[in-house]
Amino acid sequence: MDIENLINVFELESRSLDTMLRQHPLLRPMFLRDFRGVSPTMTRQAYLRLLKMSADYVQFTVPALRAAGDALRHGDAEDQAWSAMFLAYAAGETDEAADYGHHIWARDDIKAIDPDSELLHAPVHPHALLYGQYFIADVARHPYAILGAKGVLEHLSIRIADDLVRGIVDSGVANAERGTTFFHHHGVLDIDHVREGDRNLGKLTSARKRTEILEGAYFTSGSYRALIHYNLPT
């Protein structure tokens, strides 16, 4: 599989997830910015559940990148180059001032919208734990797979972030404008992340390693669908 085909997979999978989100009955009003017949309470709960879901899986991003970097540290020259790149990616996914992963942005957004205690303190969903296991505990089996997750999720972020932020701000939900840090920042940051990530893929020559990326992309899109299904049931 050549690099252009891999990037096309990122685009196709992110486009499919984008369509799923935009057509979801609970999220559609935010994307359309049309809240006729929709109570702010329903919109608020849907957005809070989306933030909680995001916090659940994004907490594994930095540990997964670091795990991949560590797994490749003693490999061939290509592995060692990517080891350094993965560790650099991990630094880029860490808040420089506060030294924490971006999932804290999502949790802070939840708190800003005054959630009920049950949602705020709910355990991480089992499907998010499986996502973390795939990219961290099982990293030795497919250390390059995290690039598939990175590709799909960053392409998705560019597609949805601006519309989602504008929608929740216009929704009438109290304090909504204070609860958009996670999606707003990713909508901005991931533009450069996608350009850099797609460019760096061109440095990867091994067909086997590219296959790991492909499998990671499909695993990620499937996990995201499962998380939406269980966190935002219709």
Q: In the chain, pLDDT over 70 holds for what percent of residues?
A: 95
CB 161 within 8 A of CB 183: yes
Residue-wise pLDDT for 156-199, tens only, equals 999 999 999 999 999 999 999 999 999 988 766 656 777 888 88
SS3 144: coil
Average pLDDT of the segment spanning 89-94: 82
CB 132 within 8 A of CB 64: yes
pLDDT at 95: 66
pLDDT at 120: 87
Q: Of the candidates 196, 156, 172, 148, which has an alpha carbon nearest to the alpha carbon of residue 47?
A: 172
3-state helix vs strand vs coil in the chain, percent to 5: 75, 0, 25
pLDDT surpasses 90 at 100:
no
Residue-wise pLDDT for 218-230, tens only, equals 999 999 999 999 9
Is the overall model pTM greater than 0.85, yes or no? yes
